[in-house]
């Protein structure tokens, strides 16, 4: 009998006409890789879950407590909606408190290092890893104070303004002038999300390196579409596979070792003057669209890690 991996996400962040298509696509792509390796895969909307404490963690789904049986979970813990974000984190923390396996927790250290771009770049800089200058935008009426700080620390621009805790190129603004930067800051000051300012770094690829047990497995490089500045596939970018990860292997291994990371995806901006760390993520790997044989290599490493983690939990 196969184990079960449940992916929980905030469907309210998506256009309602796209939700079923997304769920069908991710289920089909991951099931094709997980089932031969001993795991069934399903997707559940966070809005259908009720986390509780009844002497133990409870996660109610259509009348059933999912935590009655040990399973593996991937919980998206970012949302454009503040209430949705709190709901996701209630689910995340409920699973983390149970004896089921929260695959997001693939490394030692505080969970904000999974998603907070400012915090993870500060952490990486302390390891001697090349990182971009990054400024957190103050809230509300104080937000414009970040403009002078950007000029002081980052130079004259252009800049990128993006959420501290979001993925897939969501909400990323490119500003070419002081007026555009001020307008972007005015817009994000009205948001319920935290934002950062970074320099616009000219790069020829956005490379994701897949790490298992502290070692590089493979990588993919995403490139923006013509005249674009976002390399994410969801934003129109394209994928290719090469051996550029040899340039960052030492940095990647240093990061993984410092975090005691069993699984980690580390993203790099590949520039003419060398690679610069962009961010990292845990269980959200995005490898199902890789070409062969790299897709199989990463799938073997990914589901092999899940199997070992699940077996350890089952013994306890």
pLDDT at 231 over 80: no
Tens-digit pLDDT profile for residues 29-70: 999 999 999 999 999 999 999 999 999 999 999 999 999 999
Judge if the upstream peptide bond of residue 261 is cis by omega within 30 degrees of 0.
no
Q: What CATH architecture does domain 135-199 belong to?
A: 2-Layer Sandwich (3.30)
Strands 57-61, 274-281: pairing kind: unpaired
SS3 letters across 208-259: EEEEECCEEEEEEEEECCCCCCCCCHHHCCEEECCCHHHHCHHHHHHHHHHH
pLDDT at 25 over 60: yes
| Residues 1 and 69 sit within 8 Å (Cβ to Cβ) | no
Lowest mean pLDDT among 123-127, 195-199, 242-246: 242-246
Enumerate the H helices of the chain as residue ranges: 16-34, 82-96, 117-126, 145-154, 178-188, 249-259, 294-315
- Output Rg (C-alpha) for the chain, integer angstroms: 20
| Residues 215 and 254 sit within 8 Å (Cβ to Cβ) | no
Predicted local confidence at residue 241, as pLDDT: 92
- Of 170, 217, 221, nearest to 191 by C-alpha is 170
> 3-class SS at 16?
helix
Q: Which residues of 172-202 are buried (b: 16+ CB within 10 A; e: fewer)?
A: bbbbeeeebbeebbeebbebebbbbbbbeee
Instruction: Name the residue with higher pLDDT: 89 or 238.
Output: 89
Domain boundaries, the chain: 3-102, 111-117+124-130+202-307, 135-199
Residue 228: band (very low, low, confident or very high) from pLDDT cuts 50, 70, 90: low
The CATH code of domain 111-117+124-130+202-307 reads 3.30.470.20
Tens-digit pLDDT profile for residues 183-210: 999 999 998 889 999 999 999 899 999 9
Q: What CATH architecture does domain 3-102 belong to?
A: 3-Layer(aba) Sandwich (3.40)
C-alpha 19/C-alpha 16 separation (Å) is 5
Q: What are the backbone angles phi and psi of residue 98, rounded to the nearest 5°?
A: -95, -175
Predicted local confidence at residue 47, as pLDDT: 95
């Amino acid at each position: 009998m196969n184990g079960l991996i449940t992916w929980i996400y905030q469907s309210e962040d998506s256009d309602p006409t796209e939700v079923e298509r997304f769920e069908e696509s991710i289920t089909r792509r991951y099931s094709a890789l997980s089932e031969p390796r001993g795991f069934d895969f399903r997707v559940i909307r966070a809005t259908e879950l009720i986390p509780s404490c009844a002497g133990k963690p409870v996660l109610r789904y259509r009348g059933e407590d999912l935590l009655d049986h040990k399973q593996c979970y991937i919980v998206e813990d970012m949302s454009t909606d503040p209430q949705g974000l709190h709901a996701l984190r209630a689910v995340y923390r409920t699973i983390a408190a149970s004896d089921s396996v929260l695959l997001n927790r693939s490394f030692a250290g505080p969970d904000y290092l999974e998603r907070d771009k400012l915090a993870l770049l500060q952490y990486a800089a302390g390891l001697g890893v090349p990182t971009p200058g990054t400024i957190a935008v103050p809230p509300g009426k104080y937000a414009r104070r970040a403009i002078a700080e950007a000029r002081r620390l980052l130079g004259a621009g252009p800049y990128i303004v993006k959420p501290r805790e979001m993925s897939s190129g969501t909400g990323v603004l490119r500003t070419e002038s002081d007026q555009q930067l001020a307008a972007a800051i005015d817009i994000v000051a009205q948001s319920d999300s935290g934002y950062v300012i970074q320099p616009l770094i000219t790069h020829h690829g956005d490379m994701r390196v897949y790490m298992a047990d502290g070692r590089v497995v493979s990588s993919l490089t995403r490139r923006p579409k013509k005249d674009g500045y976002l390399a994410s596939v969801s934003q129109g970018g394209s994928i290719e596979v090469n051996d550029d990860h040899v340039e960052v292997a030492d940095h990647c291994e240093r990061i993984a070792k410092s975090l005691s990371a069993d699984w980690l995806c580390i993203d790099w901006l590949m520039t003419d003057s060398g690679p610069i760390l962009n961010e990292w993520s845990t269980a959200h790997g995005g490898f199902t669209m890789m070409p062969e044989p790299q897709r199989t290599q990463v799938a073997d490493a990914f589901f092999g890690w899940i199997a070992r983690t699940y077996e350890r939990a089952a013994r306890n």
